Amino acid sequence: MTDFARERMTQLLAEIRAADIAYHVHDNPIIGDSQYDALFAELKALEAEHPEWVEPSSPTQRVGAKPVGGFQEVRHQVPMLSLDNVFSVEEFRAFVQRVQERLGSVKQLQWTAEPKLDGLALSIRYVRGQLIQAATRGDGETGEDVTANVRTIASVPLRLAGYAWPEHLEVRGEVIMKRVHFDQMNADLAQRGEKTFVNPRNAAAGSLRQLDPALVATRPLSFYAYGVGALSAPLGESHDAVMQALKACGIPVNPGRIVGDAAAMEAAYVDLLHQRAELPYEIDGLVVKVNALSHQDTLGFVQRAPRFATAWKFPAQEARTRLLAVEFQVGRTGAITPVARLEPVFVGGVTVSNATLHNFDEIARLDCRPGDAVIVRRAGDVIPQLVRVLTELRQTELPRIERPRCCPVCQSPVEQAEGEAVLRCSGGLVCRAQRLEHFKHFVSRRAMDIEGLGEKLLASLIDAEVITTPADLYRLKAAQLQALDRMGPKSAANVIDAIEASRDTTLARFIYALGIRDVGEATAAALATHFGSLEAMSTAETDALLAVPDVGPVVASHVSSFFASAQNRAVIEALRTLGVRWPDPPQHVVDALPLSGQTWVLTGTLETMTRDAAGDRLRELGAKVSGAVSAKTSCVVAGPGAGSKLDKAVSLGITVWDEGQLIQLLEAL
């Protein structure tokens, strides 16, 4: 019996370790979460029966006791270097030239290019394959012993795989927190009323420096290796070979590639910069290294940094500036959004002078006041955010921002629905701001698609009272447009043509264009397919609306109250009389469509069609197309540059297709 138990424990250890490596090192899970949990639970139960057989490197032994007396100092046997930085292509070329001059005799120099992870540097020491110690960089000579905390990081092996490792092996790399994990953790912290972290790097650093390993174990940290420290035997002759050897030991490595020359490195920089926002973790540049270790040795070091490598930094995503004022913008549905006006600052590659503050609760949470020094963040193409206020720099008492009581545009009273953070203007279409936003939405590309009717022109038409409802657009005459400032006959005729062309539309677009609250494109498409006509939809009872996939009680009530308004019905009637029309949707019953009930997500770049076009085709086939991956997602189509959504899909075990598979499906249906 005990022999059997011991054998089973060995088998479980092997299976769990293999699953860990497949998941963390190869990004290619071999078993599902519940199967993994079952193996883990079985091992734990057997270990409880036979504590004498518990291996210190068992995956059940990740969480240990608190280090007594805080973190001890660790002297690094081989100093932990930092990287020199370059900030421009000229500086980068100068670096390459310096290296080439120093290695004068070498003809075909090989380089590696890898993302620069933005986390916390760590050195992990393995002796005879067992994790013995982990230390932070500190000042490069002496760091802190964070072994107990690092043992809790699921992707750090407690025992190396295989047997091809040197007796002493020091692995160096970065501890990071992936974006999805960061968002999730911050949401959990906020829900518990605890302090949230400003960015993933602070979250990783703050977590690793917690004294209680049990708490660290709850923080979703990851580790990627990018180098080695002290070694009792070489792992290879090049940086790339060393990384492959680490991977074979079951250590997750920073993904790099070999590049031939400066031009290829410059292309790698641009590629990575484009992928940046989609990657599952934050990076702040491209690291290039001379590949051959013999060349690295020849080049040596200057002060604390190697001559054989450099970090070509991306434009910073965070910058300090000053908050000048907070203004309130009124959206299409009356939502009042506070916007921070900032002293212009160069961040994320552009000059930023506005940042979103989301809602009034956010103002209260940040406690931002005009005059404050603040940190703004612009990541990828997303709207800049105000992430932190440097309250410690406030020298005099600054005035708090008052919650608006009336709409800043039309002075109607402000409302706040129970349980909602959003403040709303109660003025409806009386409010000029809501009217303008309503028109902007109506003419937008995914709605009635009227080109040439920009915000400025719409505002002039509204102010001149030429248009008060969307139906007025179809009564516009070129002469009226020309009468407005600086509108030539040709431009006026183009606008009229665009309006004319928009009369032929689809029911889904028309429903979307109406701007019913919470009815986005996907819901509009679902309503169109389900009801087949505007009449059926506009007279539907709540129960009938609730039968539409994607429609819940809130949306159903918005739809009902929209059509209950005589004014709305009159506008629709006028639009139809003025010639707005659409073909009858396909006479399918919803459930009969091939992809009914499925939710698809498109991410990354598609090469033979746009994501919009692919989304339209999928919707026509009955699928819902969503922007976010969840357990309910049926399939994710990932093109080049796919990042966090792909990562989430993989972690949830959701089917992932490439563009070719999607095209095959679309052709087959």
Q: Catalogue the active-site residues.
A: 116
Which residue, 243 or 366, has its beta carbon nearer to ligand 9MJ?
Answer: 243
Write down the least CB distance from residue 345 to ligand 9MJ, Å. 25
Residue 234 or 627 with smaller CB distance to ligand 9MJ: 234
Kind of pairing between the strands at 318-330 and 305-306: unpaired
Q: Check: CB of residue 517 under 8 Å from CB of residue 524.
A: no
Give me the least distance between CB of 98 and ligand 9MJ, in Å please.
Answer: 17
Compute the distance between CA of residue 470 and CA of residue 461 in angstroms, rounded to an integer: 11
| CB closer to ligand 9MJ, 228 vs 352 | 228
The helix/strand/coil state of 237 is coil
Query: How is residue 596 written in tokens?
Result: 């009914």
Q: What is the CA radius of gyration of the chain?
A: 30
CA 122/CA 138 separation, integer angstroms: 9
Structure tokens at 654: 């959701």
Q: Which residue number, 62 or 116, has a Cβ lying nearer to ligand 9MJ? A: 116
CB of 306 to ligand 9MJ, least distance (A): 6
Q: Residues 388, 318: contact at Cβ < 8 Å? A: no
Alpha helices in 151-217 (DSSP H): 179-191, 200-208, 213-217
Q: Nearest distance from residue 174's CB to ligand 9MJ, in Å?
A: 5
Look-up of token digits 């072994």: 147
Phi, psi (deg, nearest 5) at residue 92: -65, -45
Quote the least distance from Cβ 430 to ligand 9MJ, whole Å: 55
For residues 309 and 528, which CB has a smaller minimum distance to ligand 9MJ in the complex?
Answer: 309
Residue ranges binding ligand 9MJ (CB under 6 A):
81, 83, 114, 116-117, 174, 226-227, 254, 287, 309
Rounded alpha-carbon distances, angstroms, from residue 656 to 54, 632, 638: 38, 14, 7
Complex with ligand 9MJ: residue 306 or 384, whichever CB lies closer: 306
Task: Give whichever of 238 and 603 is closer to ligand 9MJ, judged by the CB atom.
Answer: 238
Q: Which residues contact 138 (CB under 8 A, 6 or more apart)?
A: 73, 74, 80, 144
Shortest distance, position 277 Cβ to ligand 9MJ, whole Å: 18
Strand pairing category for 257-259 and 111-117: antiparallel
Question: Which DSSP helix (H) or strand (E) runs through 327?
Answer: strand 318-330
Q: What's the angle, vertex CA 498, arms to CA 493 and CA 503, rounded to 5?
A: 130
| Residue type for position 95 | F
Q: Is 544 exposed, middle or buried (0-12, 13-18, 19+ CB in 10 A)?
A: middle
Distance CA 92, CA 113 (A): 13
CB of 322 to ligand 9MJ, least distance (A): 31
Q: Is 211 helix (H, G, I), strand (E, B) or coil?
A: coil
Name which of 268 and 614 has its Cβ closer to ligand 9MJ. 268
Q: Least Å distance between CB 96 and ligand 9MJ?
A: 17
3-state SS, residue 409: coil
3-state secondary structure 279-341: CCCCEEEEEEEECEHHHHHHHCEECCEECCEEEEECCCCEEEEEEEEEEEEECCCCEEEEEEE
Residue 449, sorted as left (phi over 0), alpha (psi -120 to 50) or beta, turns out to be left
How far the first Cα of the chain sits from its last, in Å, is: 57
Nearer to ligand 9MJ, 113 or 319 (CB): 113
**Smallest gap, in angstroms, from Cβ of residue 592 to ligand 9MJ?**
52
Nearer to ligand 9MJ, 309 or 637 (CB): 309
- Write b or e for each residue in 36-71: b if 16 or more Cβ atoms lie within 10 A of its Cβ, otherwise e: beebbebbeebbeeeeeebeebbbbebbeeebeeeb
Closer residue to ligand 9MJ, CB minimum distance, 79 or 206: 79
Closest CB 176 distance from ligand 9MJ, rounded Å: 9
How far, in whole angstroms, is CA 332 from its chain's centroid? Answer: 26
Query: Can you tell me the distance from the alpha carbon of 159 to that of 149, in angstroms, rounded to the nearest whole number?
Result: 16
- Secondary structure (DSSP) of 3-42: HHHHHHHHHHHHHHHHHHHHHHTSS--SS-HHHHHHHHHH
User: Taking the complex as a whole, how short is the minimal distance between the CB of residue 271 and ligand 9MJ, in angstroms?
Assistant: 16
CB 379 within 8 A of CB 348: yes
Cβ pair 317, 347 in contact under 8 A: yes
